[in-house]
Amino acid sequence: MTARADQAGVLDPRFVDAVFAVVLTAITLVWAAADHGGSWRRPDAVAVALTCAANLPVAVRRTAPLTVLLGCAAASICHHALGYQPDVNNFSSMFALYSVAVHHPFRIMLAGAAGATAVWWWAAVVAEDGLALLNVTQGLAIVGATCAFGIGRRRLADRNLALAELTERLRREQEDRARRAVTEERVRLAGELHDIVAHHMSVISVQAGLARYVFASDPGTARAALATVADTSHEALEEMRRLLAVLRLNGEDRDDGVYDPTPGLGQLGQLVERVRAAGVPVDVEVTGSARPLNPGVELCAYRVVQEGLTNVIKHALPARAKVRVHYGGEHLRVTVTDDGSSSPEPSSGGGHGLIGMRERVRLYRGTVVAGPLPGGGFQVSATLPLPAVGGEFGERGKK
């Protein structure tokens, strides 16, 4: 009963033990007063005092179980030795023994069990009812059962403690994984922002410079350049707004455009047109059987082309560029080549563009090769693995 109250947590276990000790003492006193059989002494003030000393300490059995056991056992033995009723004041030591088995190691429990057994055996000896052997056996069985229950309770508590520690460790690991995921997402967003800002600002810079250069001599060209600046800046702001909105979304449905599709190879024409407007002639060649791809792979390929063309604008003008997209059976290859005289970024260097590109492609288990060409110019080539056509997912559907 006290264990159930402890598990439920609705009552203070110490209060439950105190009430239980008082009830146990009252029942024992009433039992001794009502039993008029036998040749033992009738209860008097000494018997009442010894009964209280043998039962009331159960109220603090959780605080000092071994001390309570020894005190209850001593009071019970004295009670029986003075000739009072020997079949009372024996169960209080069992409750104390249970607490000893729960809270103390095995060797201390054995010592407590010896004390509790002594109480039962002494009661059997002084009973003088011809059932001493039965009383001894009964005492051993009760003591053994009490120890077994106590050990089971202690093992259960140990398992619960281990489970609580495991749960806490798992919670901390989940928090660590969540923090790592947030960090990785922030790094990914930083890469996205770099790609967006670097590409669009490169186009804006070239077009603004052109407009300033021909502002007086060729107003039409200047107006066209400023229109390109306006369109490009507007597109950059839209992409940045959509990207940064991810940090503010709380899971509610939004209809303000933040869920517009992420860029992919379908938007390659718009990207090329912006670069052409910046003064870089770009040829596009698509080979193989084009097919829908994973959105992440599409975005990765788009960003590789975007970064390659951005580097042409920033480092290789005047130059021509060529974009080749090849859909293979098991891979997608994206190549950006220019014939400029300077290399955008050394292949062994740590330019932020190429570093971000490599990390992005590595995320999809792809490879990037970037470096100057033997005849002049620079080339960036990324290869991304793809599931075979009708392969992985098709085979799963047949199973």
- pLDDT per residue as tens digits for the range 96-120: 888 888 888 888 888 888 878 877 7
Structural domain range at position 40 = 2-129
Structure tokens at 192: 């996205």
Last residue of a domain, one of 112, 129, 146: 129
**DSSP SS3 for 151:** helix
Residue 139: inside a domain, yes or no?
Answer: no
Residue 175: inside a domain, yes or no?
Answer: no
- Each residue of 234-278: pLDDT tens digit? 777 777 776 666 555 444 444 444 445 567 888 888 888 888 887
Query: Would the pLDDT of 30 be above 80?
Result: yes
- Measured at the CA of 236, the angle between CA 233 and CA 238, to 5 degrees, comes to 110
Residue 234: inside a domain, yes or no?
Answer: no
pLDDT value at position 326? Answer: 93
Residue 248: inside a domain, yes or no?
Answer: no
Residue 71: inside a domain, yes or no?
Answer: yes
Rounded distance between C-alpha atoms, residue 31 and residue 18, angstroms: 20
CA atoms within 13 A on the CB side of 202: 24
With residues binned 3-state (H G I as helix, E B as strand, rest as coil), the percentages for the chain, rounded to 5, are: 65, 10, 25
Last residue of a domain, one of 129, 163, 187: 129
User: What confidence tier does 392 reach under pLDDT thresholds 50, 70, 90?
Assistant: very low
- Each residue of 274-301: pLDDT tens digit? 888 878 899 999 998 888 887 778 888 9
Residue 85: inside a domain, yes or no?
Answer: yes
Q: Domain total for the chain?
A: 2
pLDDT value at position 237? Answer: 74
CATH number of the domain bearing residue 305: 3.30.565.10
| Over residues 122-131, mean pLDDT | 65
Top-confidence range, 84-93, 169-178, 377-386 = 377-386
| Over residues 302-325, mean pLDDT | 86
Last residue of a domain, one of 129, 163, 178: 129
Structure tokens at 258: 């933040």
Rounded distance between C-alpha atoms, residue 40 and residue 79, angstroms: 11
Phi, psi (degrees; rounded to nearest 5) at 129: -115, 10
User: pTM for this one?
Assistant: 0.42
pLDDT value at position 175? Answer: 84
- Note whether 354 and 372 are within 8 A (CB): no
Residue 394: inside a domain, yes or no?
Answer: yes
